[in-house]
Amino acid sequence: MDLHVNTSARMFDAADALVCYRTHPHIDTAATGAAAAGLLARLLDGERLRLAWRRVPFLTPINAGCTIWARPVCPRRSGNP
């Protein structure tokens, strides 16, 4: 999943594990894949994972969610990296 996914209770209930990208743009694909593989190995070994979620009334503008720079920037504004 990525940072702007809309997860429903039905999707969550059907999952044995969920793994999310932690960066935007998704430059952490290898780390996310490794985390997913680790969870899959645990599931195949018979471990039952605990899942929890909470819906929060929060919406972040996509340009403020960029994780490349240390601070949120607007790419159209001059003087940004």
Extract the tokens encoding 80: 């940004």
pLDDT in tens, the chain (81 residues): 766 677 888 988 999 999 988 887 788 899 999 999 999 999 999 999 998 887 777 766 666 666 676 655 555 555 544
Domain residue spans of the chain: 9-65
Q: What angle do CA 26, 56, 74 make, to 5 degrees?
A: 45
CB 3 within 8 A of CB 65: yes
**Percent helix, strand and coil across the chain, each rounded to 5?**
30, 0, 70
Q: Is the pTM of this model over 0.85?
A: no
